[in-house]
Structure 1
């Protein structure tokens, strides 16, 4: 059924005509009718399926002009980015509705603009649960005139710990309001909210063959072969045709460092993470949309809800720990039926995570090879030729022709040689051809840049040389149920250390000590602090004294034998017991 036959208002239909929409997506086709008829809706569909229009179009079609300045519709979204995206969609679909006002409210933005807009009056508020409750508590947001309440990506709000806030917002809304709840999954807590607060809802489930879109080409590369992840990313930037790209990294610090390295290679790039102030985040997204920035390096939370048409590629520089994050990541490309590419970097120790992703998405991810140096150089030559062609086509070369001809006669230079000199001048300081990067030899450290590790001889040397190890303390011990294998597995997977490089481990009651190679990078150290083992965070810290130092109170070397103080104490106790056995009374008691 086309939009024209669904009963939407004339103003909304005019806006849809402007943006070129004719046929609704499955989630839109299944929900717009019931919402227009006044039914509550419980919708289940994956991200990127058009849920925003599914609730925005009915809301805009039923809003009536009123005297009140209080909002008639409230949309709760889990993140700032999604709130902004939904607000922009409302504004776009309401382009033929004069006097319509939508306001996104979220943390990280000053209260001043939000308070001023609420005082003037708005029709629709799109906000994150925390900031909405702040305004409710301040009395600056009134919901007594509310006609619509929408929960977008409810399962994500549950995962982020907003579910109590959502319950609180429901309690502040009029009982006759209409509710639409959308979620990619339906865990028990979401079902409970639906049963409590929705009135005889129309349940809509959009089943898909996989949890990832078919119009996204998914590929993976096994890190190794002497090529680091950074070098592989650089080759992809040069050889893979793309419009705009999002590169996902695990930590905030990694996004900043990686964005700087990409910029140093000549690409307009920027980081997007939780430490960046909201105003800067909004400028960065605007620059991505208008083509001033081509590469964004982001964390999962910072990129959630980001919908930019230019994004043609998603690079998983660091593999996500859960499949939901993977689905949301690659959902940033291939939106609304467009084609997209998703590439995943997988280290050998991350193969289990990779298999989990394939199993959960029920879709095989095809292997790929990183472009070779020859392929990169061929692309560079082609681009250089294209620059020459475009310059010739632009014209206006007469002054330069005269200058070049004069120079050639004055210095008796062959035309080909003169052209080569000018080409080199045009290339600037950057070499035209990429050369093989020399392999850096490590000075006895097992922390490497996922480039395939050191040679076997190097590994054996590190594993047996205690002078290359330092001692770390982790805040998980025997009383928490931890075993050495748990620590080895966690550290090997999270820090990129081969298990044979992990030295001695001592498990104590409420903490443990472990020897690890020296030279642990700061970002790895900070990441290990947050890793969970035996339901506790490691909270790793460096220990000044090693296992064998006498200053290490409460520690002992691992091994079958006991330390000397324990031997002495035990011997003295045995001697005392032997002497006491001569007492008749004690002997008698033992006999009896």
Structure 2
């Protein structure tokens, strides 16, 4: 294996070559120019030449360094638009990334008439994908599970495949797709050219490259990871199930102007924005499904203060430059340090100070350590704002609203009405004022106290789960105190299918848009498996998961409604816990007044 270290993202060396110097198709170059690309990034400058020469490549670089263009440019430069069978296959770990890569291919091939790019991924109707395959597609971008499904059905013919890309290979293996990836590599022609891109180089990736790549060129790019000194970086440890309540408390006690809350998926942007609005906060989602006009309206509302909170994915936030952003919240922790740096760079603009907050579940502490190591800057841990903190802020805002209204020109009119009512009904003025305040605050103004410490589970407190503790939790199965949060589901694959917990998590997470924090205990039996998932899975998610396949076998997900002793036996067998804390508890919900251009919480449960 030939090893090359490309210059880092902030190195002047990366500016010494232009796209025109790389010698690829002029029509692709024209499209890149129109998109706004000026000079290649380090990974592009180092990777494109060997790929154009037909060499296999292992590219080690973080997300956000331009890997998609690094493999898309050589593929499009050699594509034969007259062929009907797929010539290139790009495997991606998630449907979000598959769509992102497909969109990029569409832009880069704008001046290549006849190029057809087809994304195939779980959660989308087979009919749409089958129609696209019948019409013929030059480039297939897909998730491993769905690609395997089409191969098993005989609807995807890779007999003329010339180029295979493994994008985010380490993430695919982490999600349990190792077996699917190896099968695709083994079942396609040995003469194909392979490019493997990964943020890290674990032993499994090394073995994969050694077994299936032919004398590859290894290219490593040192990512730029510096963070601005004017950004305060903090983290809060909180379980996945309690993140919404934790965010609500933070929003109640933090003074902010405008905020971006980052999540991983498009569906999560809509869901979280809706739940924040239901708590009285002016939040809106921004994602890749928005048409351009709607996106522009949303950003303009964010700029002028009509909206204060944007819930966004990494892709949707690209190019967003708003000076009034005072806070960035990583609601879902990014899996790579480059994304973290890009996210928090949205605040602290124009010489202002900025604030970055990262939510970390106990099982994600390794990602926190990776961020701290890469940025060479420790993040300060904060505790979950207490009930007393939240209530103090509500009382202060209530007093502030009284002070503001005392200066109103309409005060005399309402004073007369109140005095008349008090005299007519023989009621104290203070009682009348309290009744009016009760009407505007809907009764639940102050939060209830937290449960006693012994009954509390992971409410943002310090880490009680070191590695040993977490392993013990995994061994003994589900923890108590979940209440109605989790339920046991049955899937129709088991030991006879050689299924592993990682494969189950990868397939279900990818098809259902779930995260690792949504998984509890997994017990693998001979003919089936039991998986703990959120009890409130929506109808659309359930429908998508019923048709999900693992190793080509439909899992037929359904609730396990057996007797309690049957369900409790899920604690035995092969498996482990995949989630964070599961307990509920009463947390503050926003509501109430609009002050200073944003709604502030004023209602508790």
Aligned partner of 2:446 among 438, 463, 471? 438
> Tell me, what secondary structure is at the counterpart of 1:325?
coil
Matches within 5 A, 1:457-472: none
Q: CA deviation digits over 1:202-254, x for unaligned, max 9?
A: 110112365x8779956115589xx9733444258971434x532579xx999
> Tell me, what secondary structure is at the counterpart of 1:364?
coil
Contact 1:118–1:140 (Cα < 8 Å) also in 2: yes
Counterpart Cα distance in 2 of 1:7 and 1:116: 35
Counterpart Cα distance in 2 of 1:215 and 1:19: 32
Q: CA deviation digits over 1:175-205, x for unaligned, max 9?
A: 2221111011112221122122212211101
Q: Does 1:114 align with 2:122?
A: no
Contact 1:228–1:450 (Cα < 8 Å) also in 2: no
Matches within 5 A, 1:226-265: 229-235=246-252, 239-242=256-259, 244-247=260-263, 259-265=274-280
Q: Does 1:333 align with 2:343?
A: yes
Shift of 1:346: 6.5
Unaligned segments of structure 2, at least 5 residues: 1-16, 239-243, 300-306, 414-436, 489-516, 524-529, 534-562, 566-605
Counterpart Cα distance in 2 of 1:417 and 1:289: 39
Counterpart Cα distance in 2 of 1:183 and 1:97: 29
Q: Do the aligned partners of residues 219 and 431 (structure 1) sit closer, same or farther apart at CA in structure 2, a change above 3 Å counting?
A: farther
Q: Which residue of structure 1 lines up, in the alignment, with residue 580 of structure 2? A: none
Shift of 1:256: 5.1
Q: Does 1:267 align with 2:269?
A: no
Contact 1:45–1:205 (Cα < 8 Å) also in 2: yes
Q: Which residue of structure 2 lines up, in the alignment, with residue 72 of structure 1? A: 87
The count of aligned residue pairs is 425
> Tell me, what secondary structure is at the counterpart of 1:315?
strand
Q: CA deviation digits over 1:502-521, x for unaligned, max 9?
A: xxxxxxxx97999x7xx765
Contact 2:521–2:531 (Cα < 8 Å) also in 1: yes
Counterpart Cα distance in 2 of 1:119 and 1:127: 16
> Tell me, what secondary structure is at the counterpart of 2:96?
helix
Q: Which residue of structure 1 lines up, in the alignment, with residue 63 of structure 2? A: 47
Unaligned segments of structure 1, at least 5 residues: 272-280, 385-414, 422-428, 454-484, 495-509, 546-592
Q: Does 1:530 align with 2:520?
A: yes
Q: Which residue of structure 2 lines up, in the alignment, with residue 219 of structure 1? A: 233
Q: Do the aligned partners of residues 8 and 513 (structure 1) sit closer, same or farther apart at CA in structure 2, a change above 3 Å counting?
A: closer
Counterpart Cα distance in 1 of 2:23 and 2:347: 24
Q: Which residue of structure 1 lines up, in the alignment, with residue 178 of structure 2? A: 163
> Tell me, what secondary structure is at the counterpart of 1:239?
coil
Contact 1:289–1:308 (Cα < 8 Å) also in 2: no
RMSD: 5.5
Counterpart Cα distance in 2 of 1:492 and 1:255: 36
Counterpart Cα distance in 1 of 2:50 and 2:446: 64
Contact 1:42–1:194 (Cα < 8 Å) also in 2: yes
Q: Does 1:151 align with 2:166?
A: yes
Shift of 1:161: 1.4
Q: Which residue of structure 1 lines up, in the alignment, with residue 551 of structure 2? A: none
Counterpart Cα distance in 2 of 1:176 and 1:305: 34
> Tell me, what secondary structure is at the counterpart of 1:122?
coil
Shift of 1:446: 4.4
Counterpart Cα distance in 2 of 1:221 and 1:126: 35
Counterpart Cα distance in 1 of 2:329 and 2:468: 29
Counterpart Cα distance in 1 of 2:37 and 2:269: 39
Aligned partner of 2:377 among 364, 380, 402? 364
Counterpart Cα distance in 1 of 2:39 and 2:202: 31
Shift of 1:64: 3.1
Q: Do the aligned partners of residues 353 and 207 (structure 1) sit closer, same or farther apart at CA in structure 2, a change above 3 Å counting?
A: closer
> Tell me, what secondary structure is at the counterpart of 1:417?
coil
Shift of 1:166: 1.3
Q: CA deviation digits over 1:452-477, x for unaligned, max 9?
A: 88xxxxxxxxxxxxxxxxxxxxxxxx
Q: Which residue of structure 2 lines up, in the alignment, with residue 395 of structure 1? A: none
Contact 2:478–2:520 (Cα < 8 Å) also in 1: no
Contact 1:51–1:182 (Cα < 8 Å) also in 2: yes
Q: Which residue of structure 2 lines up, in the alignment, with residue 10 of structure 1? A: 26
Shift of 1:443: 6.2
Shift of 1:445: 7.0
Shift of 1:368: 9.1
Aligned partner of 2:50 among 26, 29, 34? 34
Q: TM-score, normalised by structure 2?
A: 0.56
> Tell me, what secondary structure is at the counterpart of 1:174?
coil
Q: CA deviation digits over 1:422-454, x for unaligned, max 9?
A: xxxxxxx99999xx973522465744597788x
Matches within 5 A, 1:12-411: 12-66=28-82, 68-208=83-223, 210=225, 219-221=233-235, 229-235=246-252, 239-242=256-259, 244-247=260-263, 259-269=274-284, 283=289, 308-310=318-320, 314-317=328-331, 325=335, 327=337, 330=340, 333=343, 342-345=356-359, 356-357=369-370, 360-361=373-374, 363-367=376-380
> Tell me, what secondary structure is at the counterpart of 2:261?
strand
Q: Do the aligned partners of residues 147 and 451 (structure 1) sit closer, same or farther apart at CA in structure 2, a change above 3 Å counting?
A: closer
Counterpart Cα distance in 2 of 1:127 and 1:513: 34
